[in-house]
Amino acid sequence: MMTRAQLRRFLLEGIGLLLLSVLVVLGGFFLSSGNHASRRQEEYIARFASVLTADRFEILNTSVLSDYPDINSVYMGYDDEGSPVGYVVDITTIPDGRALHMLVGIDYENSVITGIQYLNDVDNPYPITDLVIQSIKGRLEGERIPIAFVEEETDTVIDEEVIPSTQYVDGTYYAQEFEDDKLGYIDYVEIEIEGGVITRVQWDAFNMDPTTENRSAASLSGAYEVSGLDWATQSYNVCHALLEWQDPEKLAMKSDGTTEIVDGVTCNISAFVQLSSECLENARYGFNKHNYYKGLDEILIKLFGSDAEELGYLNDNGFVVFSFKEYPEVYTIYGEANEDGEAEAIGYLNLRQIVNGNPGEDDDQEEPGEATPVPEIAPDTTHDGSEDGRINTGRESDQILTDSIDDLPMTEIATRITPVNNAYNETRQVVHVCNTCYKFLKDYLNWLV
Amino acid sequence: MNDRKLAPFIHTYKNAPYIYLTIIVALLPCVFYSWFYYGIRAIVLTSVSAILFSVSDRTFSKIVHAHNDKDYYDISSVASGVIFAMMLPPDTSLIVVVTGVLFGSIVIKQLFGGAGSNLLNPAAGARLIVEVLYPSHITGFAEGGGEHWFDFMSLVSFSQTTGEATDCSKLSFLELIAGNYSGFIGTACVLTALLGCVFMVIKGTMRLYAPISYLISLGIFYQIFVPEGTFVVFLLSSGVVFVAVFMLGDLTTMPSRFAAGAFSGLVCAFLTAVLISSQSLVIAILTPVLAVNFMSFVIDYFAKTLSRRKHTSREVDVL
């Protein structure tokens, strides 16, 4: 056992040790803090170089951050005179259970995005290809926050009642034009159906000339021009409209092939309407993309004795690049021949009808496939005479227009962009990230918007 | 248990409470560093860990009737709690602390007989289990320093990574030795661990065989197994000095003889060097410590002379 004197001595030694450690820790901290600060600034400057140029960064320490759990940290950049130049927001959102980690640079004066960096440094990262992120950056950098799409998707969950009564078999369906257009493009539409609902739509066109890029790519590079927005964006918009409305007829195509009810779409959509209708009809019979290609092969074998691959009609992307312009008899129904022996075309067959036979001729030839059950709603055949807007009487949910995005009123939106082609969700997530930064800065600076 | 008394031939005041009191005092420099650098978070982590370890030990021993009021007050729990806390990142949730403490106290310590009877180091076991159970929640290497002194949300948020561990290869020697970077709250500053070591050596409550053997061997094996690394940076930033002082110098779980201690240090260093490239830092450093703890009785046995191998008791001849 320790005596009282030993205990007293022990305590004194302990206090001595503590004082010595205070000296060592404080001395070490202050002696090394100069190195520490300059090294940290070098790290910040290097790390944030792609999103904001500044001479010095300071981390923001504010209680407002606790309201934004997605934001990891926020840094303020200063120039060499000490004036603030902008913010860098380090943010991680979790869309679809996967982490999207980004750095967003925002200008101090006018809340313009100075840079965006996608960081692939987390477990289970949200997948965005370099090409897509570059395209998204191209659309967002230099723009003011907050941001919305030119035609923002409504936050309203698709009501079961808006699902058409048609029963579709789940799968991927495909249809392409039999003939190429005057520029050599063959339109095609691909539709994916899950749970009886259209979940993905793609409309594009490949060219008879293998050296010519697809129409959407050509429109983005400027090689293919249409009036209004670029064709790729118009294609996206009309695909998105079909996703939302689930019925090509609701696109209200006019006799000249245009529509006025899909914002930003001024091009001729007749090929899209025809091909998407064909896809959906195929979907009723379970005639999927694989069957379609097999059907194409069967026709080519009948005509030439070989399939597409053997004939060299398959391009690098797997499309059958062949125009039936010279073989209209394949898909045309002719009436009775006149006196001159010439018959008039009275109708056209789609590929499934060619392969399986025209149901109009013999209804027993085809049986619909086993469809995913969906709520049976009587089709709304009521028309109000207007084709200039989407009006569905009696369906209040259809008439809800988007009035907010990311909990921001649309009136507050400073910039509207079009999503990157075939990367709607990715663009949407990045826009969400930018809008979260905006909301934080608004709270932090107590902006009066 | 009720008749436990000091043996009549022991004439030293260096009994168990004294030894553990010395260790606690030796930990003060590390504790001060963590409190100064990380503020509220470190204060709460250290206090909760130490108090909870004591409460858990005492409660469990009462439940199983292993405790008697005549027994000395077991302050080894406080030492274990503090050592465990010192090896946590600053942004660690209290859930992690509770998990580690309960495992270290009940499973590692009490189930093996309580104070002085445990085979493994409770703090090492506790730290290892939380590393395995919460790999993504024990990486909160947020910045320390004045502006973060009052941060405390990480204690209750159970969030994942809040900051990256500093790339120590870019640090200056002064920063490394002073611990002026984001690391584990009490192990980053080598100077404080060395101060504690000097104190324990002066007070005669630490055997240096294993720690010295460990650090020297690690220097050699590190060059062999991690040729691309810089050993000085590793030595100053990884916490191995802290582990050497407060775990490999432990009287309960490490062999008592010179040869056995030196051999244990060598084995521990070898395993650490082998694991360092493939495992996380904590696993690479602490798994070998537990492995050596397991082997210490065997190593000690073979280190005895043939005539003394009949004696089953372990000696506590300090230095």
In a domain, B10, yes or no: no
In a domain, B240, yes or no: yes
Q: What pLDDT is recorded for position A371?
A: 53
A contacts of B163 (beta carbons < 8 Å): 73
Query: Is residue A47 pLDDT above 70, yes or no?
Result: yes
Q: What pLDDT is recorded for position B250?
A: 79
Q: What pLDDT is recorded for position A315?
A: 83
Instruction: State the average pLDDT over residues B161-181.
Output: 76
Mapping DSSP onto H, E and C, the string for chain B reads CCCCCCCCCCCCCCCHHHHHHHHHHHHHHHHHHHHHHHCHHHHHHHHHHHHHHHHHHHHHHHHCCCCCCCCCCCCHHHHHHHHHHHCCCCCCCHHHHHHHHHHHHHHHHHHHCCCCCCCCCHHHHHHHHHHHHCCCCCCECCCCCHHHCCCCCHHHHCCCCCECCCCHHHCCHHHHHHCCCCCCCCCCCHHHHHHHHHHHHHHCCCCCHHHHHHHHHHHHHHHHHCCCCCHHHHHHHCCHHHHHHHCCCCCCCCCCCHHHHHHHHHHHHHHHHHHCCCCCHHHHHHHHHHHHHHHHHHHHHHHCCHHHHHCCCCCCCCC
Domain span at B139: 16-310
**Confidence band for A162, pLDDT divided at 50, 70 and 90:** very low
Query: How far apart (Å, rounded) are the C-alpha atoms in residues B167 and A129?
Result: 28
A contacts of B180 (beta carbons < 8 Å): 28-29, 32-33, 35-36
A contacts of B236 (beta carbons < 8 Å): none
Degrees to nearest 5, angle at CA A180 with A178 and A184: 155
Instruction: State the average pLDDT over residues A417-445.
Output: 86
CA dihedral A241, A243, A249, A251 (to 10 degrees): 0
**What are the phi and psi torsion angles at A105 (to 5°)?**
-95, 135
pLDDT tens for A388-401 read 333 343 444 443 34
Instruction: State the average pLDDT over residues A266-274.
Output: 88
A contacts of B151 (beta carbons < 8 Å): 61
Query: Is residue B238 pLDDT above 70, yes or no?
Result: yes
In a domain, B58, yes or no: yes
> Per the structure, how many domains does chain B have?
1
Name the residue of chain A whose CA is nearest to B21's CA: A10
In a domain, B129, yes or no: yes
Nearest beta carbon to residue A72 from set B21, B37, B162: B162
Query: Is residue A165 pLDDT above 60, yes or no?
Result: no
A contacts of B13 (beta carbons < 8 Å): 1-3, 6
Q: What pLDDT is recorded for position A225?
A: 84
Give residue for tokens 């909760």: B48
Interface contact flag, A39 B175, Cβ < 8 Å:
yes
Nearest beta carbon to residue B191 from set A1, A14, A28: A28
Shortest Cα distance, chain A CAs vs residue B162, angstroms: 7
Which residues does A contribute to its contact with B (CB < 8 Å)?
1-3, 6, 10, 13-14, 17-18, 20-22, 24-29, 31-33, 35-36, 39, 43, 59, 61, 66, 69, 72-73, 123
Q: Is B187 on the interface with A (CB under 8 A)?
A: no
Count interface pairs A-B at CB distance under 8 A: 90
In a domain, B8, yes or no: no
pLDDT tens for A122-148 read 777 888 888 888 888 888 888 888 888
In a domain, B66, yes or no: yes
Structure tokens at A185: 């493009």
> Hey, of B10, B166, B175, which one would you mutate to test binding to chain A, going by the most A CBs within 10 A of its CB?
B175
Instruction: State the average pLDDT over residues A337-353.
Output: 77
Q: What pLDDT is recorded for position A381?
A: 39
Q: What pLDDT is recorded for position B160?
A: 53
Q: What pLDDT is recorded for position B221?
A: 93
Q: List the domains of chain A with CATH numbers.
A: 56-154+403-445 (no CATH), 160-396 (3.90.1010.20)
**Residue B243: CA atoms inside 13 Å, Cβ hemisphere, count?**
33
Instruction: State the average pLDDT over residues A340-363.
Output: 71
Shortest Cα distance, chain B CAs vs residue A30, angstroms: 9
Query: How far apart (Å, rounded) are the C-alpha atoms in residues B216 and B235?
Result: 11
In a domain, B80, yes or no: yes
A contacts of B28 (beta carbons < 8 Å): 14, 17-18, 21
Q: Is A404 left (phi over 0), alpha (psi -120 to 50) or beta?
A: beta
Q: Is B134 on the interface with A (CB under 8 A)?
A: no
Nearest beta carbon to residue B195 from set A21, A29, A33: A21
Structure tokens at A204: 């594009």
Q: What pLDDT is recorded for position A386?
A: 36
Query: How far apart (Å, rounded) are the C-alpha atoms in residues A72 and B91?
Result: 13
Query: How far apart (Å, rounded) are the C-alpha atoms in residues A435 and A417?
Result: 13
Sign of CA dihedral B229, B232, B233, B234: positive
Angle B281-303/B122-133 helices, nearest 10 degrees? 150
pLDDT tens for A54-101 read 999 988 877 788 888 888 889 999 988 888 899 999 998 887 778 888
In a domain, B3, yes or no: no
Q: Are A37 and B171 in contact (CB under 8 A)?
A: no
